[in-house]
A and B are shown apart, each in its own frame.
Chain A
Amino acid sequence: MSDKETRERKIFRLSRRKALKGLAAGVGALALPGKDASASFWEAFFQKNFRELGKDDLRKVLARMEKEYSAQYGRAVKVKATPPIEGVQYGYALDLSRCIGCRRCVYGCVRENNQSRDPQIHWIRVLQMNKEKGVYLEEAEQYYNPAKVPEPGHFYMPVQCHMCKNPPCTKVCPVQATWTEKDGLVVVDYNWCIGCRYCMAACPYGARHFNWKKPGLPAAELNPDTHILGNRPRPVGVVEKCTFCIQRTRENPGRYPACVEVCPVGARKFGNLLDPESEIRYIIENKRVFIFKEDLNTQPKFFYFYAT
């Protein structure tokens, strides 16, 4: 029968083309969230970039997130969006003469910032190097595990996000999901990040980490005091990194980041670079300070120094 006859007699004849079209449409329909999915899926889907959210939109977004996380973890989770404090530029200093490589900062950070336990994500990486050779990254060891630290003849250098003033990571983000805030913090909008990982390739300090799978965070270990740009539970497929504990440091009065507080030897110092009385300024003005990978001109806010 010809096509003309098929159409005149109004017979349904399944062709290969019709079959493929139907299959594609069917699979497409399946991929959409069914009637079980909450309205929050669509709200999250259409959520604008954090910087474009107005006051009302932001409040709605925070409320939605609090509801979602509280339901997910069975605990009352608070999501804040504390803005930067005026007249503050955060600076961080780490005393290489004191760090003993105990890694209490690494796990303190994990507890405070709700990182995935499985698969494991650490925002801080501690490098063990030889005192004779100095900072020589080719022989740096991050998987060291002796009985006691510090091992004789070695020194320890923890590395985390340096909050650079000239950051390579924010330059390469194709969707501007990561930017530098007014107080110097480089932050990520987890709802806007598409997970391309260009920023991870660009960062010279290896400070950014990716959620390859849905983060495994036990409800009992959740820290319910969160910030939307900081330690709120992350979805799969987004990049995360140290935020100088934005949920702690932006309060007024602000607390120290978790890594500073937990360090048993006091190797970590934090403060406001614009405050002439702060300890960070004292360190920069009086101690031998050096910048990691200074030749790359990232101009970080993270300084290594020797107190002795």
Chain B
Amino acid sequence: MRNRRWSYFFLLAGIAAFLLHDATALAGHQAEESKTRKEEGAILQFPVPPPPFTPGIFPCSECHREIKPNQKRRVLKDEHTNIVLNHAQGQRWCLDCHDAANRDKLRLVSGEKINFSESYRLCGQCHGDKFRDWKVGVHGKRSGEWNGKKEYLLCAHCHNPHDPRYKPIQPLPPPARPETIR
């Protein structure tokens, strides 16, 4: 044709558009991937103080190595009689959360075994909204640095897993009435 400059221009524009679209799509995909990867890493990396075990009870395998697991749902009569389950007690019992084969681990619904120091993953299975808030720092006791390292606690540090409802406590004294202040 007479004016070939236009065809060159359109060819160039087409290639540029194709590359740009690809680049942004790739970047977006990478960002999303890195976000989920970061979240995956974060789930495993919450620095928490040690779980609040009753003194001497852990490691559980010290006793349970010898004992044959009894999968029958029942009220325990020989040991652990002080633990009264007040947490979905109609639907679950001990071995739904505690691993039958290895009592030093907890058991997720998927069958995955986790450590007691990661017990928030177990609670998070049913209490997903609290878990989501806890990860951001909105649920639970807040300490540490507001623009640095936040200090996290395990769910079990405030909520007894067998009887989780927060118990009423005694309040500190009320303020002095102004007429009593001389």
With A144-B174, A282-B136: A270-B169 Cβ-Cβ less than 8 Å:
no
Q: Is the CB of B142 within 8 A of A256?
A: yes
Contact stretch, chosen from A3-11, A103-111, A189-197: A103-111
Q: Inside 8 A of A265's CB, which chain B residues have their CB?
A: 141, 158, 166
Q: Which residues of B contact A260 (CB under 8 A)?
A: 142-143
Docked-complex contact B138 and A279, CB < 8 angstroms: yes
Q: Which one of B25-33, B63-71, B98-106, B146-154 is at the A interface?
A: B146-154
Q: How far is the CA of A254 from the CA of B143 in the complex (A)?
A: 11
The reply to whether the CB of B21 lies closer than 8 angstroms to some CB of chain A is no
Q: Is B170 an interface residue (CB 8 A)?
A: yes
B175 at the interface (CB under 8 A from A): yes
**From DSSP, what is the main secondary structure of chain B's interface residues?**
loop
Does the CB pair A264–B141 fall under 8 Å? yes
Closest B residue to A124 by CB, please name it. B175
Which residues of A are interface residues toward B (Cβ below 8 A)?
85, 88, 100-104, 106-107, 119-120, 122, 125, 142-150, 212, 249, 252-256, 260-261, 263-266, 268-272, 275, 278-279, 282-283, 287, 307
A263-B141, A282-B138, A307-B133 are known contacts. Are A256 and B146 too (CB-CB below 8 A)?
Answer: yes
Most buried by A among B149, B166, B169, B171: B171
Q: Which 5 A-B pairs give the minimum distances between C-beta atoms? A: A253-B148, A148-B168, A103-B172, A253-B145, A279-B137
- Find out whether the CB atom of A146 lies under 8 angstroms from the CB atom of B142: no
User: A266 to B171, Cβ gap below 8 A?
Assistant: no
B124 beta carbon closer than 8 Å to chain A: no
**List of A residues within 8 angstroms of B144 by Cβ:** 255-256
Q: Tell me if B177 is interfacial: C-beta within 8 Å of chain A.
A: yes
Known: A144-B174, A264-B141, A268-B142. 8 other contacts (CB 8 A): A102-B172, A106-B172, A143-B175, A144-B171, A149-B169, A264-B158, A270-B146, A272-B147
Quick one: closest A residue to B173, CB to CB?
Answer: A145
By the criterion CB–CB under 8 Å, are B166 and A249 in contact?
Answer: no
* Nearest B residue to A152, CB-CB: B168
A254 touches B174 (CB 8 A): no
